[in-house]
């Protein structure tokens, strides 16, 4: 597919701004929907497969303004209803249309703490942009107002112009909150509880903070300096961090409360347990869980050949099993780490693939090959125990199953061999068991996820939980939403306690 260069996109946007900006308040809906949607400028695929820099380059001010002018400012705000944290989308978009970026940032910040991250990784096409009136009028969800790109634009503008301010922290309450896990859920809880003046400590098992934002989602989709900035803000607010600290092993959860004096605990340990296929050959050298593969690449800097302590496995032909975002990230990372051929092996068709469309497009542009209606049957190895082939089998689609997707049915005698030296398994993640196994008294469901009430409270007194450990592998914005709710409940509980103590 042909894409305009960033310069061409900017030139077109400049012309559109000249045409529309002076009449921004007077345009009729029909005129607005005629304004072309603004493509995201991106790095050239042939260049980007050799670097880890961000693929999407972000809108210019002119592009953002044109895109914002497309918004119909609907009375029934479906975009807000479809946003898990209810950002006043028409409100901030209208500020961009009028060039008031400070105000736009203010509106977003009322509802979302991490807009630079959500603007990049939220599945907008199934959330805020899904029922956008512009997309509906043009009968194409991809032509909806690009709300995510606009959110990202405002957040980046704020960061680049040094306008991010450190939120105010109330005077010390003497109460202590422990946050276990530094993923998006934990970060949000830390910020919201610290604001109320409580002492907050984040305990993180890894040596770096950010959870999946850091070790899962690659730099080419979410640069590390954005996560660093969020952590710096928390640090400036006085949040304390303890890394290399596995709650449940380094210290038991109950000891944090009984011995270390924490008044409340939030558990946001995520869903980091890889699930394997259970097929022959999965223990061969050269088979990785997506989790391990991406963690080696992102966190241990395995791409930094010659310098990294944990060099990545040298691969020539890679099969990635699965069809979600994690599979796309693994495949695109493998390409960047030097693989010549990367196959995504998925047992249904492109239509059923859960990965975001944009990620699939990007992967295709980068030369990733998709093997639809196929799946791995067994992995074969050489005498020294290394992968040297994968036996696959073909599928066809039958009737819809419980998920509403058509069920893949194996085609008899359709086996064939795929020449690969690396297999990355990206078929899903289970809940992180380390903490829950060592914490009797915490109720789990049959998948090992922590069960909570409507305030994110667990079965244990003063212990709350949220994000993937509650939802199962979900999304950044849902994890943040749960964190927000938990923090509100923790703050309420501690405020009532302070009030009781004051009266005594
Ligand atoms: C490769 C990949 C790509 C993804 N892409 C997207 C995307 O594009 N858009 C999107 O919305 N979502 C995406 N997701 C999902 C999203 O990242 C998660 O839903 C989200 O990060 C969950 O947040 P969380 O705070 O619950 O947990 P996590 O981000 O998993 O963080 C949990 C943290 O807890 C730490 N921890 C675990 N156990 C302990 C312990 N016992 N003691 C101390 N610390 C502990 C872990 O080390 C980790 O840092 C992706 C996930 C992956 C794996």
Residue 166 lies inside a defined structural domain of this protein? no
The angle subtended at Cα 155 by Cα 267 and Cα 125, nearest 5°, is 75
The predicted pLDDT at position 1 comes to 61
Q: Are residues 307 and 364 in the same domain?
A: yes
The predicted pLDDT at position 185 comes to 97
Which domain CATH number covers 101? 1.10.1060.10
Tokens found for residue 376: 């791995």
Distance CA 29, CA 249 (A): 59
Q: Are residues 344 and 204 in the same domain?
A: no
Residue 306 lies inside a defined structural domain of this protein? yes
The predicted pLDDT at position 308 comes to 61
Q: Are residues 194 and 242 in the same domain?
A: yes
Residue 94 phi, psi dihedral angles, 5° rounding? -65, -40
Which of 160, 191, 224 is the last residue in one of the domains?
160
CB 135 within 8 A of CB 141: yes
Q: Are residues 136 and 10 in the same domain?
A: yes
Pocket test of ligand 1: the residue of 211, 220, 424, 487 to mutate, having most ligand atoms within 8 Å of its CB, is: 211
Q: Are residues 342 and 434 in the same domain?
A: no
Q: CA neighbours within 13 Å on the CB side: how many for 327? A: 29
Pocket test of ligand 1: the residue of 184, 202, 212 to mutate, having most ligand atoms within 8 Å of its CB, is: 212
pTM for the model: 0.93
Nearest CA to ligand 1 atom 8: 121
Q: Is 257 helix (H, G, I), strand (E, B) or coil?
A: helix
Kind of pairing, strands 422-425 and 273-274? unpaired
**Atom of ligand 1 at shortest distance to CA of 294?**
1
The predicted pLDDT at position 307 comes to 67
Ligand 1 neighbour 326 (Cβ under 6 A): yes
CB 57 within 8 A of CB 83: no
**How many domains does the chain divide into?**
3
Write out the chain's pLDDT in tens, 504 residues.
668 999 999 999 999 999 999 999 999 999 999 999 999 999 999 999 988 899 999 999 999 999 999 999 999 999 999 998 899 999 999 999 999 999 999 999 888 888 999 999 999 999 999 999 999 999 999 999 999 999 999 999 999 998 877 889 999 999 999 999 999 999 999 999 999 999 999 999 999 999 999 999 999 999 999 999 989 989 999 999 999 999 999 999 999 999 999 999 999 999 989 999 999 999 999 999 999 999 988 876 666 666 666 667 789 999 999 999 999 999 999 999 989 999 999 999 999 899 998 899 999 999 999 999 999 999 999 999 999 999 999 999 988 888 788 888 999 999 999 999 999 999 999 988 888 888 988 999 999 999 999 999 999 999 999 999 999 989 999 999 999 999 999 999 999 999 999 998
Distance CA 404, CA 453 (A): 28
By residue range, what is the domain housing residue 469? 176-272+430-503
Nearest CA to ligand 1 atom 26: 467
Which of 160, 190, 212 is the last residue in one of the domains?
160
Q: Are residues 420 and 437 in the same domain?
A: no
Ligand 1 neighbour 467 (Cβ under 6 A): yes
Residue 125 phi, psi dihedral angles, 5° rounding? -65, -20
Residue 167 lies inside a defined structural domain of this protein? no
Kindly give the distance from the C-alpha atom of residue 93 to the centroid of ligand 1, in angstroms, as a whole number.
Answer: 29
Residue 170 lies inside a defined structural domain of this protein? no
CB 273 within 8 A of CB 432: yes
Q: Are residues 137 and 78 in the same domain?
A: yes
Ligand 1 neighbour 182 (Cβ under 6 A): yes
Which domain CATH number covers 240? 3.50.50.60
Pocket test of ligand 1: the residue of 269, 452, 482 to mutate, having most ligand atoms within 8 Å of its CB, is: 269
Q: Are residues 438 and 411 in the same domain?
A: no
Which of 377, 398, 427 is the last residue in one of the domains?
427
- DSSP conformation letters of 208-254: SSSTHHHHTS-TTTS-HHHHHHHHHHHHHTT-EEE-S--BTTTB-HH
Residue 72 lies inside a defined structural domain of this protein? yes
Kindly give the distance from the C-alpha atom of residue 211 to the centroid of ligand 1, in angstroms, as a whole number.
Answer: 5
Ligand 1 neighbour 299 (Cβ under 6 A): no
Residue 362 lies inside a defined structural domain of this protein? yes
CB 483 within 8 A of CB 189: yes
Residue 310 lies inside a defined structural domain of this protein? yes
Q: Are residues 383 and 480 in the same domain?
A: no
Distance CA 175, CA 120 (A): 35
Residue 121 lies inside a defined structural domain of this protein? yes
Ligand 1 neighbour 148 (Cβ under 6 A): no
Q: Are residues 462 and 328 in the same domain?
A: no
Ligand 1 neighbour 479 (Cβ under 6 A): yes
Q: Are residues 287 and 420 in the same domain?
A: yes
Q: Are residues 436 and 360 in the same domain?
A: no
């Amino acid at each position: 597919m042909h894409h305009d260069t960033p310069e061409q996109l900017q030139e077109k946007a400049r012309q559109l701004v000249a045409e529309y900006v002076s009449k921004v308040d007077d345009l009729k809906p029909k005129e607005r929907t005629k304004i072309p949607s603004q493509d995201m400028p991106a790095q050239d695929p042939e260049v980007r497969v050799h670097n880890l820099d961000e693929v999407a380059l972000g809108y210019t001010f002119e592009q953002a303004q044109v895109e914002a002018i497309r918004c119909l400012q609907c009375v029934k705000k479906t975009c807000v209803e479809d946003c898990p944290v209810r950002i006043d989308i028409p409100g901030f978009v209208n500020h961009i249309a009028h060039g008031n970026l400070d105000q736009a940032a203010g509106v977003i910040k009322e509802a979302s703490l991490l807009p630079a991250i959500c603007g990049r990784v939220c599945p907008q096409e199934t959330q805020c942009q899904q029922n956008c009136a512009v997309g509906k009028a043009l009968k194409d969800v991809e032509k909806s107002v690009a709300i995510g790109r606009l959110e990202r634009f405002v957040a980046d503008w704020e960061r680049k112009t040094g306008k991010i301010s450190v939120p105010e922290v109330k005077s010390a309450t003497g109460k202590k909150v422990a946050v276990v896990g530094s993923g998006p859920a934990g970060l949000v809880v830390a910020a919201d509880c610290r604001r109320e003046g409580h002492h907050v400590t984040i305990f993180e098992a890894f040596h770096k903070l950010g959870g999946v934002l850091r070790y899962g989602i690659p730099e080419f989709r979410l640069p590390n300096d954005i996560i660093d900035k969020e952590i710096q803000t928390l640090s400036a607010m006085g949040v304390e961090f303890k890394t290399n600290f596995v709650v449940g092993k380094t210290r038991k959860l109950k000891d944090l409360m009984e011995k270390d004096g924490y008044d409340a605990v939030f558990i946001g340990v995520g869903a980091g347990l890889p699930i394997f296929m259970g097929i022959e050959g999965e223990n061969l050298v050269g088979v990785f869980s997506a989790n391990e593969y991406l963690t080696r690449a992102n966190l241990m800097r395995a791409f930094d050949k010659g310098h990294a302590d944990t060099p990545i496995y040298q691969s020539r032909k890679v099969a990635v099993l699965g069809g979600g975002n994690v599979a796309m990230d693994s495949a695109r990372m493998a390409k960047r780490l030097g693989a010549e051929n990367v196959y995504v092996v998925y047992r249904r068709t492109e239509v059923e693939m859960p990965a975001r469309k944009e990620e699939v497009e990007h992967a295709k542009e980068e030369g990733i090959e998709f093997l639809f209606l196929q799946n791995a049957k067994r992995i074969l190895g050489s005498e020294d125990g290394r992968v040297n082939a994968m036996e696959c089998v073909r599928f066809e689609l039958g009737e819809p199953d419980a998920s509403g997707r058509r069920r893949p049915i194996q085609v008899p005698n359709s086996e064939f061999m795929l020449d690969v030296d690396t297999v990355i398994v990206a078929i899903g993640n289970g809940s992180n068991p380390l903490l829950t196994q060592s914490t009797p008294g915490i109720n789990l469901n049959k998948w090992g996820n922590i069960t909570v009430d409507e305030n994110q409270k667990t079965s244990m007194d003063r212990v709350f939980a949220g994000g993937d450990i509650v939802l199962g592998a979900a999304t950044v914005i849902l994890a943040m939403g749960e964190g927000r709710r938990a923090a509100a409940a923790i703050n309420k509980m501690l405020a009532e306690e302070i009030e009781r103590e004051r009266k005594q």
